[in-house]
Amino acid sequence: MRKVLSLFLCLCIGIVTLHAQTYSLLIKGGHVIDPKNGINGVMDVAINADTIAKVAKSIPEKQARQVVQAKGMYVTPGLIDIHGHVFYGTESDHYLSNGFAALPPDGFTFRVGVTTIVDAGGAGWKSFPTFKNNVIDHSQTRVLSLLNIVGEGMRGGPYEQNTQDMDAKMTALVARGNRNYVVGIKVAHFSGPEWTPVDRAVEAGTMANIPVMIDFGGSIPPLPIEELFMKRLRPGDIYTHTYALLNGRESVVDEATKKVKPFVWEAQKRGIIFDVGYGGTSFNYSQAIPSLKSGFFPNTISTDLHTGSMNGSMKDQLSVMSKFLNMGMDLPSVIKASTWASAQAIKREELGHLSQGAVADIAVFSMREGDFGFFDKTGYKVKGKQKLECELTIRAGKVVYDLNGITDPIVLPSAPPAKH
């Protein structure tokens, strides 16, 4: 009888304890930066299943089944990289469209706090089904698409010069039919004096009610970016590779005077979104330093991730963010340009914040102090004292990356891809 009573009491205690554990996971004592909600201070963040349940000053640990001790660390929404290349594959002569130069997202996102990545133009309307089947549907990272105005996508060479394959109607049709995944239209790599790629992309974007991202240049003499910003693009359209200095492309900073051109300021006020899009050759300190010194900051920070950039001066999202931090951009602004502002740019405002009821995509960072070197494609080097490092990434409520085992208990990730 005593054994039965003892078992009954143990069962009751277990039920009460389980009932008391309101949350599946609790991030305790971190410095929360949530730009959308104006939060910048030490707070706790509680998660229930795949959803943000509560952000408050003090939430008891006993209410959670899993606890992350984040004292001395920064807690932010999961980062959103709006310019990457993840339509990886094994096809020769396919460049960033089911080719060898793109990268599988899950191997390069979670370890730097990125929970959402936008493939910028790898797939066109013809190749989007392959991209969705092979990459989007098999990734835990939320993978979205800026659909290339070229039907073949970003196959390189003559494929991207073929104006006959720039079909606004078909591009818009595929975009509208895949609204959960397609967040914009992309123009890239076109060489020539024609405005055809831009005009067709804007036409498709207007029909589908989504923005256009422009990777612009390749004409000698260069096409005027003032006309691009003021006459061709709409407010909300995105200009990527903002700080590039490339032959055949007009720069935003006058190299002679080291001043941001007046119409560039006006374009930003008009609503043109200026994106970093760092890339392999698309970032120069000679453009970025005078821009930031004058107060011309990027709206969004992104990587242009691919095999040609990840082992060069770009490396990853946190490396790019750290560069802007060390150039004088404050940390909340850097976080905003990598989360909430990016979500707004792609019209996915359910992302990029820690509001109650939002999907629980979260990153936890430490700020390393030391002597660091940040260089660009020319070899110009800037020394810095701070560098962001990802400690933990949570995607849809599940820990998908834990650098130093700060989760208690530790549960190794083995879940199927999260729903997008």
Q: Cα separation of 109 and 157, whole Å?
A: 28
Q: Cα separation of 332 and 338, whole Å?
A: 10
> pTM for this one?
0.94
Position 18 scores a pLDDT of 45
Position 8 scores a pLDDT of 46
Position 357 scores a pLDDT of 98
Position 416 scores a pLDDT of 54
Digitized pLDDT (tens) for each residue of the chain, 420 residues in all: 454 444 444 444 444 444 468 999 999 999 999 999 999 999 999 999 999 999 999 999 999 999 999 999 999 999 999 999 999 999 999 999 999 999 999 999 999 999 999 999 999 999 999 999 999 999 999 999 999 999 999 999 999 999 999 999 999 999 999 999 999 999 999 999 999 999 999 999 999 999 999 998 889 999 999 999 999 999 999 999 999 999 999 999 999 999 999 999 999 999 999 999 999 999 999 999 999 999 999 999 999 999 999 999 999 999 999 999 999 999 999 999 999 999 999 999 999 999 999 999 999 999 999 999 999 999 999 999 999 999 999 999 999 999 999 999 998 876 555 555
Residue with tokens 């709409």: 234
Position 412 scores a pLDDT of 81
